[in-house]
Amino acid sequence: MIELRNVTKKYDGIPVVDRVSLTIEKGTVTSFIGPNGAGKSTLLAIISRLLRQDGGEVIIDGIPIEKWGSSELARRISILKQSNQVNLRLTIRELVSFGRFPYSQGHLTAGDWAAVDQALAYMKLTDIQHKYLHQLSGGQLQRAYIAMVIAQDTDYILLDEPLNNLDMRHAVDIMKTLRALVQDLGKTVVTVIHDINFASCYSDCIVVMDQGRIACSGGPQRIIDRSVLCDVYELDFHIETVNNQRICVYY
Amino acid sequence: MTEERYAADRRLIAILALLVAVVSVLYIVVGLKSSTWRYALSLRVPRLLAMIVTGAAAAYSTVTFQTLTNNRILTPAIMGLDSLYVLLQSLAVYLFGAGSVVVSDPRLNFLVVIAGMLAFAVVLYNFLYRREERGLAFLLLVGIILGTFFQSGASFIQMVVDPNEFSVLQNRMLASFNNMNTGILWLAGILLVGAMIVIARQLTTLDVLALGREHAINLGVPYDRVVRRLMVVVAVLVSVSTGLVGPLMFLGLLVANLARERLHTYLHRYLLAAAALISILALVGGQFLAERVFNFAAPISVLINLAGGLYFILLLLKESRA
């Protein structure tokens, strides 16, 4: 369980995350949605200790984030940011093997390599595992990074806009994979997503952020609602139920 | 497949090591005369060792610094670190006078200047990491301004000191390839080995750091602590190379990038070894040519800076296109 208590982050005195309190349950997909600049990515960075909060507490499995050892925490929680420009001469397999660093500090055991092979197979990358990163398409690259996170084998997986720059088919693939991670492997997935319909169809819980605060949170049936979304996005939403899923039309 | 590539890299490193050995032997034996061989050896052996230590220090400091800052254009020399060394040394003469023990004892002088370098490394660390992300262009600009500032500061001090003290400064302290400061050779060698041991224990961590700050933290590297420690190591290494032969400007840039281009790997185990060997090869080979072939007509630092400067412009052009 991830608990946030009054988490605050300020830039030049202006709060970008403002006294956020939230509990993220294990074994769920939680999606953060909200307009640009709402503080979603900042909050995700704080939960994954990429940024330090100015106030409040982040508690992971009952222990405040500052009290965790670096390696120990890296075996519990992982983060994938939206921009992953790596200028290194790396193959997919080498990238994925980095996921085992928290376990073996770079001296991989046979067990580590088995985990790498598994992650590659899970993301259907086995055939192209020896390709270099700069030879890959956007969709393949994103799958490679997700494979690295899978190899890291953490209970909590945080992804900042994992669907960025992906076409619809690849986006659906990624979201199905994330759901499968929760269902098959019992992971907890936390994402920032801009496409509301993806959030609606694949999340157990949606958290709407606006101006650094949580506007509201709950299941898709409750959150994907005119009264909630029109306010936050300042757009006119038309919402339909298709195949039992709430779909927004706002174009 | 991965294994094949590593085998090729290992082969390349073995070839480089062989070349270094050949050039070193040539440097020592070519032109020895039966009448003066003792004297010639007493000059050549320390100089060869000084070049080996310098080459390794320049390569290690640059590769490490590039990995820490995640780019291939910034080097400690371009950030002005070796100019700072000269400035600090001039400052020591100005403040304490040529007669003081801080100046007259080369080893003590070396240690005092290193202390100053470490202080600056901490400032640089804060500048590079404690603020929000800065663009490469900005950092380059700052580096070039700092480098020029340190250089001008050093020449300013050299002008205002007493002429007698200046001659001391010039003769004994401002090292160059034709005036290597072999008096600090053993101390520099020990510091180099110490720095190499610290880096050797962080080899796989360096591999992870090359992925960038966010990936490194995600993978459990205690980022701030590791980076601070490595910045200190870089400052020591720059002091070692500058103390022995003076500022090298582009050597580090040249060899670090050549190693990164030629090898097929991201592993620092190989990158560092290859860069160090290329660096030693360039120094010893270049000095051999300069001394025995060109008869001291063209100083090796000029040759290296010419090659390095051209390569630097090439890199800038390539990066700006990417």
Q: Where are the domains of chain B?
A: 2-321
**Alpha-carbon distances, residue B182 vs A83, B45, B288 (angstroms):** 49, 10, 18
Please tell me the distance from the alpha carbon of residue B301 to that of residue B249, in angstroms, as a whole number: 9
Which residue among B203, B217, B264 places its CB closest to the CB of A50?
B217
Tell me the average pLDDT across B8-34: 90
Residues of chain B with C-beta less than 8 angstroms from the C-beta of A73: 220
Please tell me the distance from the alpha carbon of residue B299 to that of residue B41, in angstroms, as a whole number: 21
pLDDT in tens, A177-224: 999 999 988 999 999 998 889 988 999 999 999 888 988 888 888 888
SS3 A161: coil
To the nearest whole Å, the CA of B318 is away from the closest chain A CA by: 13
pLDDT for residue B31:
79
To the nearest whole Å, the CA of A169 is away from the closest chain B CA by: 27
A128 in reach of chain B (CB within 8 A): no
pLDDT for residue A180:
92
pLDDT for residue B113:
84
A73 in reach of chain B (CB within 8 A): yes
User: Of all residues in chain A, what percent carry a pLDDT higher than 70?
Assistant: 99
pLDDT for residue A121:
92
Q: Which residue has the higher pLDDT, B199 or B160?
A: B199
Pick from A47-56, B172-181, B212-221, B274-283: least confident: B172-181
Please tell me the distance from the alpha carbon of residue A101 to that of residue B82, in angstroms, as a whole number: 35
B215 in reach of chain A (CB within 8 A): yes
Pick the CATH number of B2-321 from 1.10.3470.10, 1.10.3720.10, 2.40.50.140, 3.90.1150.10: 1.10.3470.10
Q: Is the pTM of this model over 0.90?
A: no
CB contact under 8 A, B1 and A78: no
Please tell me the distance from the alpha carbon of residue B152 to that of residue B146, in angstroms, as a whole number: 10
Residue B147's nearest CA partner among B72, B245, B92, B81 is B81
**Alpha-carbon distances, residue A21 vs A5, A64, A159, A189, A211 (angstroms):** 4, 14, 20, 18, 14
Residue of A nearest to B223 (CA): A70
pLDDT band at A154 (very low <50, low <70, confident <90, very high): very high
pLDDT for residue B158:
83
Please tell me the distance from the alpha carbon of residue A123 to that of residue B186, in angstroms, as a whole number: 54
Joined together, the tokens standing for residue A204 give: 């157990």
pLDDT for residue B322:
54
pLDDT in tens, A30-81: 999 988 888 899 999 999 998 888 888 999 999 999 899 888 999 999 999 8
B217 in reach of chain A (CB within 8 A): yes
- Best mutation target, B219, B264, B267, B318, to test chain A (most A CBs within 10 A): B219
pLDDT in tens, B242-296: 888 888 778 888 899 889 888 888 889 999 999 999 999 988 988 888 887 777 6
Residue of B nearest to A88 (CA): B266
CB contact under 8 A, B208 and A73: no
Residues of chain B with C-beta less than 8 angstroms from the C-beta of A86: 211-212, 215
pLDDT for residue B179:
77
Please tell me the distance from the alpha carbon of residue A73 to that of residue A154, in angstroms, as a whole number: 9
pLDDT for residue B2:
65
Residue B96 in this model has a pLDDT that exceeds 70: yes
pLDDT band at B223 (very low <50, low <70, confident <90, very high): confident
Residues 6+ apart with CB under 8 A from A158: A44, A47, A48, A77, A78, A79, A80, A189, A190, A191
Residues 6+ apart with CB under 8 A from A105: A71, B204, B205
Tell me the average pLDDT across B53-71: 91
Is A204 within 8 Å of A193 (Cβ atoms)? no
Residue in this structure with the two tokens 């050797």, named with its chain if needed: B200
Tell me the average pLDDT across A6-23: 89
Tell me the average pLDDT across A84-97: 84
pLDDT for residue B174:
67
B214 in reach of chain A (CB within 8 A): yes
Which residue among A79, A89, A93 places its CB closest to the CB of B218?
A79
Continuous segment of H or E residues that includes residue A163: none
To the nearest whole Å, the CA of B218 is away from the closest chain A CA by: 6
Backbone angles phi, psi at A24, to 5 degrees: -110, 120
Tell me the average pLDDT across B34-40: 84
pLDDT for residue B133:
58
Residue B135 in this model has a pLDDT that exceeds 70: no
Residue A96's nearest CA partner among A117, A79, A110, A70 is A117
pLDDT band at A28 (very low <50, low <70, confident <90, very high): very high
